[in-house]
A and B are shown apart, each in its own frame.
Chain A
Amino acid sequence: MSCIKRITGISICVVLLSGLCGRANAASSKTVTLRASVPVISGVTLNAARATGAQLASLGEASTLDFGTLIFDSVNHIFTASDYFAVDIGIENNSGPWTLTHTPSSIYNRTTGNTSQNLDTHINVTFVNQLDDTQANMLSKVSFANSAATFTSGQISTGWIRVYYGVGTGGPEDNPGVTPILQTQPAGAYQGAITITVTP
């Protein structure tokens, strides 16, 4: 009986050794799965800058473009602004083609409440495809009144959209449909808005 026990013990050892040897000689293959989920993103970041001449001073994610109290040019009898604004629009979208819509809301005299007293045809709105800090391609040059516009990802293959806003000067640099603010423009606090929407 004790002999049988010993034989069985030896057999188990052999089986164990055989098993180990067999595994060592087989082809070794191991698959490790790596996983990550990229979420759908759809957003827009706006960075405004106040421009004086060619100098841009960042205003960050400003929600107001305030030209302040306009200056009366007593030579040309028009109201002018010392600054203009640039708004950089960064689009975050990885779900295919996108569309950006620029919607103006009339800049009218809030002091009198008279909506016909507005600055809509006195403000230049210029859309450019900014390639880098210094280079850009022109997209559109219009008045604030005609600035309802749509741009698609097909038009912006690289870079970003920048929109300039500036009070008309009466000079050749004014966009079509823009005239300067004449001295007859009623006094008051004028206010309007622009809404920028990116879909999807």
Chain B
Amino acid sequence: MKKMLKAATCLIMVLGLTSAAFAAATHTITVKATIPTLNGMTVTLSKVVGTTFTTQADNTLMDFGTLTFDTVNSIFTAAYYFALDIGVLNNAAWTVQHTPSTIYNRTTGNTAQKLDSNINVSFFNQLTSTTANNIAKVSFLNSARTVTSTNIATGWLRIYYGIGTGDPANPDNTGVTPILSTQPAGNYQGSVTLSLTP
């Protein structure tokens, strides 16, 4: 009986060793990476004449200069317009708030003398340097807008600012009229504020 037990034990040990040796060898390695939070905004200002863009060294000032009086149409016009390219560096859902501050006559100090309804503001989702999707075309007066990361799935946000021309071939945005000859002379100034959250 003892002998049988011993033989059985040996057999089990041998079988055990053999099956262990034939088992598949497996190793698992963990792969890790951490992506940090991004939160930033770059603003590039260009002066546009026709279709030629010239990047401005100072991206804090859009100066239309002294407007030109168009004696044919009896309106004031500008020789150029501006494009503001806004690159958002953010890897979570984001919002860019565009807040206008009235462009009024600083010479007279009369806030009722303003150009808010005379300037086109057009928001685009720029896909490449030559292709874009329109987001909104409004007057400076109505340019308080929120653009979200949903609006800019790819590419970047571009905002154009241009004095109204009254040209039916290139219609001004809704609510924009040209600056008439009756507009009081003076230095007009206002601002736009762009805020990124979070």
Chain A residues close to B by CB (< 8 Å): 39-44, 46, 48, 62-70, 72, 74, 77, 79, 81, 87, 95, 107, 109, 119, 123, 144, 165, 167, 181, 183-200
The reply to whether A70 and B32 contact each other, CB–CB distance below 8 Å, is: no
Contact at B38–A119, with CB atoms within 8 Å? Answer: no
A199 touches B28 (CB 8 A): no
Can you sample 19 A-B contacts with CB below 8 Å?
A43-B25, A63-B28, A65-B29, A69-B34, A72-B89, A77-B87, A95-B22, A107-B32, A119-B33, A167-B33, A183-B89, A189-B32, A189-B34, A190-B32, A191-B30, A192-B30, A192-B31, A195-B27, A197-B27
Any A CB within 8 A of the CB of B193: no
Which residues from chain B contact A63 at a C-beta distance below 8 Å? 28-30
User: Would B89 and A87 count as touching, CB distance under 8 A?
Assistant: no
B11 in the interface, Cβ–Cβ < 8 Å? Answer: no
- Any A CB within 8 A of the CB of B128: no
Question: What is the CA–CA distance of A23 and B92 in the complex, to the nearest angstrom?
Answer: 99
* Shortest distance between the CB of A148 and any CB in chain B (Å): 14
The reply to whether B33 and A185 form a contact with Cβ atoms under 8 Å apart is: no
A185 with B34: CB separation less than 8 A: no
B residues in contact with A79, CB < 8 Å: 35
Least CB distance from A82 to B in Å reads 12
Q: In the complex, A107→B34 CA distance in Å?
A: 11
Give the distance in Å from the alpha carbon of A48 to the alpha carbon of B89 in the complex: 34
Within 8 Å by CB of B92, from A68, A74, A187, lies A187
Q: Which B residues, 67 to 104, have Cβ-Cβ distances below 8 Å to chain A?
A: 87, 89-92
Residue of B whose beta carbon sits closest to that of A188? B35
Does B37 sit within 8 A of A, measured CB to CB?
A: yes
User: Which single residue of chain B is at the shortest CB-CB distance from A66?
Assistant: B32
Contacting residues, chain B, for A188 (C-beta < 8 A): 34-35
On whether the beta carbons of B36 and A70 are closer than 8 Å, the reply is yes
Q: Report how many residues on chain B are interfacial, defined by Cβ distance under 8 Å.
A: 26
Assess A193 versus B24: contact at CB under 8 Å? Given A40-B18, A183-B91, A187-B36.
no
Number of A-B contacts (CB under 8 A): 122
Q: Does B51 contact A (CB under 8 A)?
A: no
The answer for the CA separation of A197 and B35 in the assembled complex, in Å, is 30
B18-61 contacts to A, CB under 8 A, are 18, 21-38
- In the complex, besides A42-B25, A64-B31, A183-B38, 11 extra interface pairs with C-beta distance below 8 angstroms are A42-B24, A65-B32, A67-B34, A69-B34, A77-B89, A186-B91, A186-B92, A187-B35, A191-B30, A191-B32, A196-B27
Q: Is the CB of B21 within 8 A of A40?
A: yes
Which of B21, B26, B35, B92 has most A Cβ within 10 Å? Answer: B35
Inside 8 A of B87's CB, which chain A residues have their CB?
77
Query: What A residues does B92 contact at CB under 8 A?
Result: 186-187
Cα A116 to Cα B38 in complex, Å, equals 20
Contact B91 A184 (CB under 8 A): yes
